[in-house]
């Protein structure tokens, strides 16, 4: 970005300097002229008076063309800089959106993991509760439970049921 700004600055400076200072012009024949204002020099010698009107006009037209090309190049440089800035902004916005999506993804993964663990825990507790309930019912049917054992079993099943209900409430 700094490089682009430097280039634009240099191009602008060159354009401004060229408007009031000398221009080096290369003709189609390959001749090099220095043009300062209305003075035309070749190899350091002022040849303005020795050139025909059409030669002068051709050289002045080349100066105008060169200046116009520089203006167009400067315009293109500015457009490119704007494009780079816009792209930079788009990339920054995309980075922010990407980070938000990644955060949502991690949150969802965590939620899925928690839910999966809660379901697994519920299933394990449900199986254990059912097993203990069957054992209790079998002992009760055989008449092998005293009042104290019956009370212990009821407490045990009640606690298992509380754990089961708590595990069920954690399932989303």
Helix (H) or strand (E) run with residue 5 in it: helix 2-20
> Do 82 and 8 contact (CB within 8 A), yes or no?
no
Q: What are the per-10-residue average pLDDT scores of the chain (172 residues)?
A: 59 52 84 91 91 90 91 95 96 97 97 95 96 94 90 95 94 78
Question: What b-and-e string marks burial along 109-138, b requiring 16 or more CB atoms within 10 Å of the CB?
Answer: eeeeeeeeebeebbeebeeebeeeeeebee
Domain boundaries of the chain, sorted by first residue: 2-169
| pLDDT at residue 11 in the model | 55
As a whole number of Å, the end-to-end CA separation of the chain is: 50
Beta-bridge mates of residue 40:
35
């Amino acid at each position: 970005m700094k490089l682009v700004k430097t280039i634009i600055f240099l191009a602008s400076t060159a354009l401004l300097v060229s408007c009031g200072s000398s221009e080096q012009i290369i003709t189609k024949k390959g001749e090099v002229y220095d043009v300062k204002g209305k003075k035309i020099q070749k190899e350091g010698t002022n040849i303005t008076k020795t050139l025909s009107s059409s030669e002068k006009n051709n050289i002045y037209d080349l100066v105008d063309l060169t200046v116009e090309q520089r203006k167009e190049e400067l315009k293109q440089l500015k457009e490119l800089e704007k494009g780079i800035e816009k792209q930079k902004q788009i990339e920054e916005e995309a980075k922010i959106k990407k980070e938000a999506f990644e955060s949502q993804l991690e949150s969802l993964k965590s939620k899925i993991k928690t839910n999966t663990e809660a379901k697994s825990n519920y299933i394990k507790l449900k199986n254990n509760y059912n097993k203990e309930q069957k054992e209790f019912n079998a002992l009760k049917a055989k008449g092998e439970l005293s009042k104290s054992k019956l009370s212990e079993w009821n407490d045990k099943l009640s606690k298992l049921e509380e754990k089961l209900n708590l595990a069920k409430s954690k399932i989303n």
